[in-house]
Amino acid sequence: MCNKSDIVNRLLADCPESRQSEAAVFAPANIALCKYWGKRDSELNLPVTDSLSLSLGSLGSHCTMRIHDGPADLVQLNGTTLPPDHPFVSRLTRFLNLFRQPPGRRFHIETVNTIPTAAGFASSASGFAAIVKALDAMHGWKLPERSLSILARLGSGSASRSLWQGFVHWHAGSGTDGMDSFAEPLPEQWTDLRIGLLILNSSRKTTGSTEAMRRTVETSALYDAWPRQVATDLAAIRQAIRDRDFQALGAAAEANALAMHATMMAARPAVLYWQPESVEAIQRVWSARADGLALYFTMDAGPNLKLLYREADRTTIEQQFDGLVTANPWQEREP
Ligand code: PMV
């Protein structure tokens, strides 16, 4: 059995080191159109299935990293220094423990999230991807993107997909060491495609994704069907991207999200991230679609919706859904 340190040691074995005093990087957040739900190895964050995501352009994590002289890492999030017992600091410290060379090295990390964190949108994917990019840049490792994706995956599964803009495919792989479980960008660009964050409820999630996945895999009678559903949906999404068929893309992504939530609702005890506002928004999307608007949604481990639409319909949709934040997956700079 491999652990995280074995993987890090293997990937960094032949790396040159030409340390800079500081590195500043950006990684975009991503939203899966075909979801990752369920681990086959929870130490290495190895997924049961492939998944496919769309980036959020300029919404993500800016990270500045320096070597720190103090007794512990110094972590600042959105301009505030976090206390050492903050859950984000503990998680980050555990991850950075994999990279302290020489042992005992401390880091000063400044992260600024441009994704609306107050709204409860997960920023761990862009956060860990940015940390890995910053480690690579600061140490001068010049790792191939595949290795960066594997390292980001060790921090958070979906972080493996947060190194690129646009469509990204995470291959589940089959090896026990996870060296074949990495993401890569798709060549297709679809420049008028938009994804919007619909902030409905900002309360913190009750069950984290790791626990929710474990419970689903171990107790949900519907989970057996999930890998087959993913294979079908992933093929449909890939084909829709090749054909630039928005209806086919939206329909497959929406159905995939609903199927994922069905697997977790059938877990014992059930996992239900939906709030009354979520159901109301789903009905509004469906009724807008019945009225002829090309609009679809997807949902993750929380009560908020992400809407899929095209630039031509953006103004109409922003008028109908108050507070919607539109992201352009191919535009890294803020407009
Ligand atoms: O990477 P995690 O452990 O935060 O899990 C992400 C799970 C979903 O967001 C629900 C699906 C996905 O593929 O991103």
Q: What is the pLDDT of residues 60-95, one digit of tens each?
A: 999 999 999 999 999 999 999 999 999 889 999 999
Nearest atom of ligand 1 to the alpha carbon of 36: 13
The model's confidence at residue 248, banded by pLDDT at 50, 70 and 90, is very high
Residues of the chain above pLDDT 70, percent: 97
Domains and CATH numbers, the chain: 4-185 (3.30.230.10), 193-327 (3.30.70.890)
105 Cα: distance to centroid of ligand 1 (angstroms):
31
Classify residue 183 by burial, with Cβ atoms within 10 Å: 0-12, 13-18, 19+: buried
The model's confidence at residue 169, banded by pLDDT at 50, 70 and 90, is very high
300 Cα: distance to centroid of ligand 1 (angstroms):
7
For residue 52 and ligand 1, the question of a CB distance below 6 A is answered with: no
187 Cα: distance to centroid of ligand 1 (angstroms):
23
* Separation between Cα atoms, residue 187 and residue 50, nearest integer Å: 17
Give the pTM: 0.97
208-234 residue pLDDT tens: 999 999 999 999 999 999 999 999 999
For residue 39 and ligand 1, the question of a CB distance below 6 A is answered with: no
For residue 301 and ligand 1, the question of a CB distance below 6 A is answered with: yes
Classify residue 135 by burial, with Cβ atoms within 10 Å: 0-12, 13-18, 19+: buried
* Separation between Cα atoms, residue 217 and residue 48, nearest integer Å: 9
Asked if the model's pLDDT at residue 120 lies above 60, the reply is: no
Q: Nearest-CA neighbor of 37 among 177, 191, 209?
A: 209
For residue 132 and ligand 1, the question of a CB distance below 6 A is answered with: no
